[in-house]
Amino acid sequence: MRGLNNVQLVGSVVASPDIKLTTRGKKVAHFHVETVKEWKGATGETKTQPMRHNVESWDHAERSGLASMVEAHVTAGTYVLVEGAIEYEQYTSKAHNVPMMSTKILAKRIIILSHDATDARDLDFADSPYAAPPSDAG
């Protein structure tokens, strides 16, 4: 049976994307999206933990030129929805010659929600196609 590797992130772009061309002339954009994990502590106080996610997007016909779109429209502070797949890469650290692993999201779709994350933080995604389905409990 085949599995499903699909990720959706909604968060703020941390810094301006890094845009590069491969030796074959393909454009690739790398950037980081920050999400915030929030929970209640033992005494009821709200605790938060920021999490950074590496995102990679490419200019391919089947991906509608995502890297070019990122280059033209995404800057630090842009609030985005990223849909893609998780990829893991193993490599050897040049400094310490030890095996390392990195994780990234290979973007298939990027939607710009706002160019200023403070404007987007209060968006209600309940009516969005990206919202969780209603619970049958209760």
CB atoms within 10 A of CB 33: 24
- On whether residue 66 sits in a domain, the answer given is yes
- The whole-angstrom separation of Cα 68 and Cα 29 is 8
Q: How many domains does the chain have?
A: 1
Q: Any idea what the CATH number is for the domain that residue 88 is in? A: 2.40.50.140
Cβ proximity of 27 and 63 under 8 Å:
no
The average pLDDT across 95-124 equals 79
In 3-state terms the chain splits into helix, strand, coil percentages (rounded to 5) of 10, 50, 40
Residue 134 domain flag: no
- The per-residue pLDDT for range 36-67, each reduced to its tens digit, is 999 999 999 999 999 999 999 998 755 458 89
Domain that holds residue 66: 7-39+47-120
Structure tokens, 17: 């994307």
**Burial class of 105 by CB neighbour count within 10 A (0 to 12, 13 to 18, 19+):** buried
- Say which range, 7-16, 19-28, 82-91, has the weakest mean pLDDT: 19-28
Domain for residue 30, yes or no? yes
Residue appearing with tokens 């990206």: 130
pTM, two decimals, is 0.76
For the chain, give the percent of residues with pLDDT over 90.
Answer: 67
